[in-house]
Amino acid sequence: MADITLTDLTKSYGPTEVLHHIEGDINDGEFIVIVGPSGCGKSTLLRMVAGLETVTSGEIQIGGKRVNELEPSARDIAMVFQNYALYPHMSVRENMAYGLKIRKLSKDEINRRVEEAADILEIRQYLDRKPRQLSGGQRQRVAMGRAIVRDPQVFLFDEPLSNLDAKLRVQMRLEIRKLQQRLGVTSIYVTHDQVEAMTLGDRLMVLNGGYVEQFGTPIELYDRPASVFVAGFIGSPAMNLIPSQASGGAISLPGGAQVNSATDANGDVLLGLRPEHLTPDENGPVSIDVEMVEQLGANTLLHGTLSGTNHEMVASVAGHDAAASGTQRRFSISPDLVHLFDPQTEKRLNP
């Protein structure tokens, strides 16, 4: 078990810097998810922790020890790859035992550990099969088993569920979470899927273009997104963002509507309203011309434009809603659910 500290970490390929001054403290036993769009550098960051990429500058510490120069095998980590990277010519048992054999553990110890891991993952009956004889979900378990048997200080996951179908992904997601809680091993998990990130992580590190946009708990990210990027990335459907004017706590939307917010911001702002926070209210200030209705059962999505403008808006209404396209609906919003961002820096304005 160990904590991980990233200090002023950068990575360059030639003259191109792809990761900029990453800072982060990861506590012992914590489950951290690094999330961001493809190409944001999240896999590179993970691979630097693993020792598969060199560190350009800055420092990585695992358990208080600098590991920059250590070989991957000397860092006491285990990694689960996107394509599992199972050795195709070895049986499941051999795959799981390979790292232990290299470390010259005794045969009994290897068998004990492999079987224990196989029991945890319920893959005992597959131990003598080859990877190609297994389904995607089973391979996924073997890849996890290979990580578990090593009893490492840190688990690293590189988009491990992206090759599975949707149903299996949800199931494996829960299992990974349960397993991590049971073993209590510090884990870093990379994904581009915000739902996966929200459900798995104790804390999320949102990366964009090689910068950390925000590092916090899922609820912090949802309630107080630090930037326009995080606001748009976390939550589904995505937050409505409307260029507006602020003056003394009153926000004027294009088209004349006005909402309130406890803010001292003045001038141009980017107003953020989550679709699920728009409450139907016949006297509400926000009016939407409904163009399309999506009935999802538990809730209903109303797509349209802000009345009198052509700003796209989405509202999510609980339960069933018989709104027809072409009608106008009004909504109100609680002042503490209003998000304000600086249109230039795209950083959050209200506390």
Partner 1 sequence: MVENRPLADFITHLVLVLGVVAIALPIWITFVAASHDEIRMAQAPLPLWPGDQLWVNLKQTLFGEGLSGTETAPVWLMLFNSLFMALMISLGKIGISLLSAFAIVYFKFPFRMACFWMIFITLMLPVEVRILPTFEVVANLGMLNSYWGLSIPLIASATATFMFRQVFLTVPDEMLESARIDGAGPMRFFWDILLPLSRTNIAALFVILFIFGWNQYLWPLLITTDTSMTTIVMSIKQMLEAAEQSPQWNIIMMTALLAMIPPIFVVISMQKLFVQGLTETDK
Interface residues toward partner 1, by CB under 8 A: 47, 50-52, 71-73, 77-79, 81-85, 87-90, 98-99, 102-103
Stated as kind and residue range, the H or E segment containing 200 is helix 194-200
Residue 160 or residue 218: which is nearer to partner 1 going by CB? Answer: 160
- The DSSP code sequence of 13-43 is ETTEEEEEEEEEEE-TT-EEEEE-STTSSHH
Cβ nearer to partner 1, comparing 77 with 127: 77
Instruction: Give whichever of 13 and 87 is closer to partner 1, judged by the CB atom.
Output: 87
Distance of closest approach, residue 87 Cβ to partner 1, in angstroms: 6
Closest CB to partner 1 among 52 and 337? 52
- In the complex, the smallest distance separating the C-beta of residue 147 from partner 1, rounded to whole angstroms, is 9
Nearer to partner 1, 34 or 154 (CB): 154
Residue 80: which H helix or E strand, with range? Answer: strand 77-80
Query: Closest approach of Cβ 85 to partner 1, in Å?
Result: 3
Q: Give the nearer residue to partner 1 in terms of CB position, either 98 or 211.
A: 98
- Could you tell me the smallest distance in angstroms from the CB atom of residue 93 to partner 1? 14
To the nearest 10 degrees (0 to 180), the angle between helices 107-121 and 136-149 is: 140
Nearest approach, Cβ of residue 160 and partner 1 (Å): 12
In 159-226, the DSSP E strands lie at 186-191, 203-208, 211-216
Q: Which is nearer to partner 1, 72 or 255 (CB)?
A: 72
| 82 vs 67: CA distance, rounded Å | 24
The smaller minimum CB distance to partner 1, of residues 38 and 125, is found at 38
Least spacing, CB of residue 12 vs partner 1, in Å: 17
Nearer to partner 1, 5 or 82 (CB): 82
The least CB distance from residue 89 to partner 1, in Å, is 4
Q: What SS3 string covers the chain?
A: CCCEEEEEEEEEECCEEEEEEEEEEECCCCEEEEECCCCCCHHHHHHHHHCCCCCCEEEEEECCEECCCCCHHHCCEEEECCCCCCCCCCCHHHHHHHHHHHCCCCHHHHHHHHHHHHHHHCCHHHCCCCHHHCCHHHHHHHHHHHHHHCCCCEEEEECCCCCCCHHHHHHHHHHHHHHHHHHCCEEEEEECCHHHHHHHCCEEEEEECCEEEEEECHHHHHHCCCEHHHHHHCCCCCCEEEEEEEECCEEECCCCCEEECCCCCCEEEEEEECHHHCEECCCCCEEEEEEEEEECCCEEEEEEEECCCCCEEEEEEECCCCCCCCCEEEEECCHHHCEEECCCCCEECCC
Shortest Å distance, C-beta 38 to partner 1: 17
Instruction: Kindly state the smallest distance separating residue 96's Cβ from partner 1, in Å.
Output: 10
